[in-house]
Structures are given as C-alpha cells and as structure tokens.
Amino acid sequence: MTVIVQRGLYYEEFDLDATYLHRPGRTATEADNVLFTTLTMNTQALHLDAAYAATQEFGRPLMNSMWTLSTMVGSSVAQLTQGTLVAQLGLGDIRFPRPLFAGDTLYTESVVTDKRLSSSRPGQGICTIAHTGRNQEDEVVATATRTVLVQCRPEGEG
C-alpha cells in the first residue's frame, strides 16, 4: 500500500522561478471580521460599527487588515510550509492598497524571491516569500514579504 502524506516543501523544492497559486480562495464574512477584530482587541469602529463605517469613505465596514494578512499567509501553508517549517523569522513590506470587504473572496499567490542555506543551522534553509492577495476582481488588496526557516530534505529521501 502506498502512503502519501501532505506536506509543504523542503528547502530544495522551493523554486525561484515559480508562482504558487493557493486555492481555493477564502470568502470573507462579517462574522470573520467581528470575531477576529474582537479576539485581537481591535476596537476600530471601521470594522465593528456599520453605522459609523457608512459615514466614512468606503461606506461600509472594512475587513480587518490583520485578518487579510493572516488569511493570505495561512492560505500558503498547506502548499509551502506544512510540516517543513521550523520558524517564521519575519514579515515585512506589508501593504494594503485596496480594502477587502465582507463578501469579497481573497485569492493568494506566492513567489519565492530568495533562498539560502542557513549558516548556523545545518539541515535548514532560509526562504523569502512574497505573498500577494487579490480579490475576486483580480485587484491587489494586500502584499507582504515573509522570511521562513525550513527543513532541508532528510538524507535518503529523493
């Protein structure tokens, strides 16, 4: 019997020439926004107060940008780092050029922009990944760069 375990990529498998499309997308809901916003103690009225948000520039509540970032990164895990991640080392270059609203669907793609073997941790490598989140209209709603420490392929696995 063949046993196949779903996992992310080992260091050697990260391809600098590839764009990784993470599917399915995730449709944002009002419940997601309220739950995430209250769990993280973010009292911003633009996320929680529909009457207030209606008087502001976008005319309705915005999805919490940290929900957008977390969901964008999270959607990449199964394909890139599930079971091979040692540690997330950092996030940077985070931008939200357009708002995301309840009812929008977030689609994420990732590009590995750099990779190198760790000089201090044998058997591990450092990869830099640029994530882009788009809505159902293909408009960019978020970007971020993430640096991760991942395992190298175990000896004897080909």
Domains of the chain by start residue, with CATH: 11-29+64-151 (3.10.129.10)
Buried b (16+ CB within 10 A) or exposed e, 82-96: eebbbeeeeeeebeb
Residue 6 confidence (pLDDT): 83
Q: Are strands 19-27 and 105-117 parallel, antiparallel or unpaired?
A: antiparallel
pLDDT in tens, the chain (158 residues): 998 888 999 999 999 989 999 999 999 999 999 999 999 999 999 999 999 999 999 999 999 999 999 999 999 999 999 999 999 999 999 999 999 999 999 999 999 999 999 999 999 999 999 999 999 999 999 999 999 999 999 987 76
Structure tokens at 53: 């948000």
* Distance, CA of 75 to CA of 23 (rounded, Å): 8
Instruction: Decide: 84 and 78 in contact? Cβ < 8 Å.
Output: no
Residue with tokens 């019997």: 1
What pLDDT is stored for residue 158 in this prediction? 63
Alpha helices in the chain (DSSP H): 30-39, 45-48, 50-54, 65-80
Question: What pTM, to 2 d.p., does this model score?
Answer: 0.93
